[in-house]
Amino acid sequence: MSTSSSIRVRFAPSPTGMFHVGGARSALFNWAMAAQSGGTLVLRIEDTDASRNSPEWTEGIIRALAWLGMDGGQYEGPYFQSANADKHAAAAATLREQGRAYYCDCAREDVTARTGDQHRGYDGHCRDRGLGPGPGRALRFRTPDEGQTVVVDLLRGKPTFENAALEDFVIARADGSVTFLLANAVDDMSQGITHVVRGEEHLSNAPKQQLLWEALGGAAPVWAHVPVIVNEKRQKLSKRRDKVALEDYRAEGYLAEAMRNYLMLLGWAPSDDREILPWDVMVAEFRIEDVNTSPAFFDVKKLRAINGDYIRMLPVEKFVAECLPFLEAAPFEVDMAVFNELAPLAQTRVALLSEIVPMVDFAFLPEPDFDEQSWTKAMKEPAADILAAAEDAYRDAPWNAEELKNRLEAVGAERGLKLGKTQAPVRVAVTGRTVGLPLFESLEILGRERTLERMAAARAKLTS
């Protein structure tokens, strides 16, 4: 790949739904190329299909890209394809005037009746009929009868397409609106796009678009068709079947830095098997030619692990700030002074920011929200005896985590129990769960009075 500053790449999503993680991955690959070369990433919203587009989806795309951090000198836009309608229509007219396009009034069923095959492409029936514009007449591009179209692809070499096998495809519908193929080519040319990096599902369109570029007097871009993203069953990620919306992951508590890092690993790997890298290092190392052409597995467990690593790398003040939206949505009032004490403990435990509320709720609820399975597991004999002994041991204890641990260890030792077995009923009595923050630090923050009250209440519940 050239590293000339003249490189201009584009990300051109259609606003027809929530922003797909596959689209985000393509945007990041483009952004990395632009940042690395000193070039430009153009954001172009392909909004010409009014029946499917929504301003809500457009705003979602722009917000999602901003969340991922796309801005700065390499970023241009957003532009809207609908603003170029006059250019698209002019290009269609030029192609017809040059004899590179013709009008066709064939319906799909007409083609099937002539060919006997409903899956066969258009048979060129109207090529030489000399039809003019009129109701029900679409404009088709006249593909060459002979020769080949070679697509130079940075990942796939030089896929070669026989021109004779390419049908005369529609570039303008009967209502005059142009199709994706022509609009894309016109916009890429007018915006000076030099490299087109997109999903491999578009590879079959590349020879058609390249022919359009050439017919309109432009030099074809350099292509790079990146691999599809698949789920654990190796099926292509689907909006109907899989969680694919970037907004959903953000709402669940994934950090932008972690999501950006993970998406860059879908098809590409930095040297030395490293997985967690700062963005500037990724930009320096990324080479689109090194992207693997095999399908990339979207591993949610791995994404979650990487997110946990990023959470633990945050300064605690930043962690608190990232938790605020989740705390503000909690069904109880959070004392931020208390949360600031709990935050360093919670930061080592959560993999998603959304896990923060159930992790710390015990400190803010009037009484624990008992998990039934945790209660059943921990509150077996001799739970009541352990709680009674712990109450006695804690009444006059210096209230710090180390002493609280030592005293509970002594309670267990008197009964021939290890600390893990001894602390289980205490943890559930105080927090409502068997798993959570470090117990003794949590008790220190909760305070003597509330700790003893909760142990007494749990013991009463056991013996009633």
The per-residue pLDDT for range 20-38, each reduced to its tens digit, is 999 999 999 999 999 999 9
pLDDT in tens, 401-448: 999 999 999 999 999 999 999 999 999 999 999 999 999 999 999 999
Task: Judge contact between 297 and 320, C-beta under 8 A.
Answer: no
Q: Of 307, 316, 314, which Cα lies nearest the Cα of 260?
A: 307
pLDDT at position 43 over 60: yes
Q: Of 384, 343, 392, 338, which Cα lies nearest the Cα of 365?
A: 338
Q: What share of the chain has pLDDT > 90, as a percent?
A: 89
pLDDT at position 221 over 60: yes
Query: What average pLDDT does this structure show over 10-15?
Result: 94
Query: What average pLDDT does this structure show over 451-460?
Result: 98
Mean pLDDT of the chain: 95
pLDDT in tens, 184-197: 999 999 999 999 99
The pLDDT, as a whole number, for residue 464 is 82
The C-alpha angle 45, 46, 51, rounded to 5 degrees, equals: 120
All residues at 6 or more sequence positions from 376 whose CB lies less than 8 Å from its CB, including other chains: none
How is residue 162 written in tokens? 């026989």
Task: Judge contact between 393 and 385, C-beta under 8 A.
Answer: no
pLDDT at position 212 over 90: yes
User: Which of 42-46, 109-113, 316-320 is predicted least confidently?
Assistant: 109-113
pLDDT at position 375 over 60: yes
The pLDDT, as a whole number, for residue 288 is 96
| 452 phi/psi in degrees, rounded to 5 | -65, -40
The pLDDT, as a whole number, for residue 19 is 93
Task: Judge contact between 168 and 124, C-beta under 8 A.
Answer: yes
Counts of helices then strands in the chain (DSSP H, E): 19, 12
- Assign 273 a pLDDT band (cuts: 50, 70, 90): confident
Q: Which residues are catalytic?
A: 239
How is residue 267 written in tokens? 């098809």
pLDDT in tens, 334-367: 999 999 999 999 999 999 999 999 999 999 999 9
The pLDDT, as a whole number, for residue 237 is 93
pLDDT at position 3 over 50: no
| 3-state secondary structure string across 260-272 | HHHHHCCCCCCHH
- Assign 157 a pLDDT band (cuts: 50, 70, 90): very high
The pLDDT, as a whole number, for residue 309 is 98
- DSSP characters for 425-454? HHHHHHHSSSS-S-HHHHHHHH-HHHHHHH
Pairing of strands 148-150, 160-162: antiparallel
Please state, in angstroms and rounded to a whole number, the distance separating the CA atoms of residues 211 and 422.
Answer: 75
The pLDDT, as a whole number, for residue 4 is 46
Q: What share of the chain has pLDDT > 70, as a percent?
A: 99
pLDDT at position 1 over 50: no
The pLDDT, as a whole number, for residue 118 is 82
C-alpha distances (whole Å) from 142 to each of 126, 164, 227 are 10, 11, 30
Q: Of 240 and 103, which is predicted with more confidence?
A: 103
Task: Judge contact between 148 and 166, C-beta under 8 A.
Answer: no
Task: Judge contact between 286 and 154, C-beta under 8 A.
Answer: no
| 104 phi/psi in degrees, rounded to 5 | -140, 135
